[in-house]
Amino acid sequence: MCRHLAYLGPPVTLAEVLFDPPHSLVRQSWAPRDMRGGGTINADGFGVGWYPGEGEPVRYRRAQPIWSDPTIAQLAAVTRSAAVVAAVRSATVGMAVLDGAAAPFAQGRWLFSHNGVIRGWPDSMVPLAAALPVRDLLTLDAATDSALLWALVRHRLRAGVDAGEAVGRTVTDVAAAAPGSRLNVLLTDGHRVVASVVGHALSVRKTPGSVLLASEPHDDDPGWRSVPEGHLVVATADEMRVRPLPTPVRRAGRAGDG
């Protein structure tokens, strides 16, 4: 299992998102509150993506615990952005631990993160993967379920499918092919963020002019709200909508993933 977040709003330092809150993403890397059977810590890598302007995002990814990398703390203190995606990773047993396996994944202006596991990997995904261009399969960032999930979403984005529809349809397709999967996804282009909730928790804090989505609330602010299971969030800094996923998905089990 992993922990992840997405922020849209007035420019903030990365430290304000990653380090400063009492239950920040960095703290969740070694003291998560809600792993749901998917390990105990998130020490198998981390990644941060942010938008320095209207161009493509910048990423920093490493295959080590976020607390053991001195560079990210220094970088976070001096880097500001109005849009951030970050994740800390607990690798599923048998999957690679390397820089390319850490979210966020990226192409163009898109950043993507997956908190969860695809059951029956890789056999359960063979029919869906077969519909992808061969080049996409040969150029995955890593041989992991998260990288393939990103390839499936990206394929729909390239075909002109709306971001919310691309995430919703992909998640329900994967849930049908691999029942019991955990499929909490974050996708953003720096202006809008889409998030799915399947098998794990996601909380949202919406304020005038900003939105923060996170696997776990970062503090005791009463503004945090839990997103219901089987729902999709589509948000900008100014507005947010929560709706059911296109079709019902079976709730994930609680054991054996990581």
Q: Is 169 assigned a catalytic role? A: no
- Is 91 inside a domain boundary? yes
Paired with 50 in beta bridges are: 58, 84
Q: Residue 38: what pLDDT?
A: 58
- Is 254 inside a domain boundary? no
Q: Which domain holds residue 128?
A: 3-244
Q: Residue 152: what pLDDT?
A: 98
Specify the number of domains making up the chain.
1
- Is 250 inside a domain boundary? no
Q: Residue 40: what pLDDT?
A: 75
CATH number, domain with residue 220: 3.60.20.10
Each residue's pLDDT tens digit in the chain (258 positions)? 589 999 999 999 999 999 999 999 999 998 888 766 556 788 889 999 999 988 999 999 999 999 999 999 999 999 999 999 999 998 877 788 999 999 999 999 999 999 999 999 999 999 999 999 999 999 999 999 999 999 999 999 999 999 999 999 999 999 999 999 999 999 999 999 999 999 999 999 999 999 999 999 999 999 999 999 999 999 999 999 999 998 755 444 433 333
Q: Find the catalytic residue in 2, 75, 142, 171.
A: 2
